[in-house]
């Protein structure tokens, strides 16, 4: 399974495209980084561009090239 290299500290406001859109939600923007007590990024919040629905997920899931593409494609 291919992986994308990501610096979690630079994810804020980055754009992502879902490979398998659900409910026509294809394009997303990272609106929040969630950090632990040591300041390490553990999760991020993605907002769907089409309807502004928000989803929180582990930032590492964005490294899966079978699920996500960086940018809006």
pLDDT tens profile 4-40: 789 999 999 999 999 999 899 999 999 999 999 999 9
pLDDT score at 73:
85
The set of residues, in sequence order, having a beta carbon less than 8 Å from that of 25 and lying 6+ positions away, is 18, 48, 50, 51, 53
Residue 48: both structure tokens together: 């769907």
Q: How many CA atoms lie within 13 A of 19 on its CB side?
A: 10
pLDDT score at 5:
81
3 compared with 20, residue with greater pLDDT: 20
Whether residue 11 contacts residue 68, with contact meaning beta carbons closer than 8 Å, is answered with no
pTM equals 0.91
pLDDT score at 2:
63
């Amino acid at each position: 399974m291919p992986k994308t290299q990501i610096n979690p500290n630079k994810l804020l406001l980055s754009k992502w495209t879902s490979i398998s859109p659900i409910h026509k939600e294809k394009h997303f923007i990272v609106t929040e980084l969630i950090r632990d007590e040591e300041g390490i990024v553990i999760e991020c919040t993605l907002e769907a561009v089409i309807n502004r629905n928000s989803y929180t997920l582990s930032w590492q899931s964005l490294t899966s090239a079978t699920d996500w593409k960086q940018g809006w494609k």
